[in-house]
Amino acid sequence: MKTVANLGTLQQAQELKMLLGAVGIDSFIPDEISAGLAPFEFMNKVGIRLMVDEADEEDAKRVIEEEAGRVGE
C-alpha cells in the first residue's frame, strides 16, 4: 500500500476515499478509528493517511490532482 494523500480531517479522507471508489480505485484509511476517537491528535501530526494499492498509485494521484483543480476553481 502507498500513501497518496494526508488529510486534515477524517471527513476529507472519507470524501476522497468515496471519490476514488467512484472511479474504481480501492483505498484504505489506516488512521480511521483513531481519527474518529481523537481527531485533535491528527491536527499536530502529518494528517490522516489515505492509501491505495501500489498498482493504483499513479491513477489515484491523478484523480486527486484533478479534484484539487476543480475545488480551486
- Which of 15, 11, 17 has the alpha carbon at shortest distance from 39? 11
57-69 pLDDT, tens digit per residue, is: 999 999 999 988 7
pLDDT given at position 20: 97
Q: Judge whether 47 and 8 are in contact, CB under 8 Å.
A: yes
Mean pLDDT of the chain: 87
Q: Residue 62: left (phi > 0), alpha (psi -120 to 50), or beta?
A: alpha
State the residue for C-alpha cell 480551486: 72
Instruction: Check residue 45 and give its pLDDT.
Output: 67
pTM of the full predicted structure? 0.83
Place of cell 479522507: 13
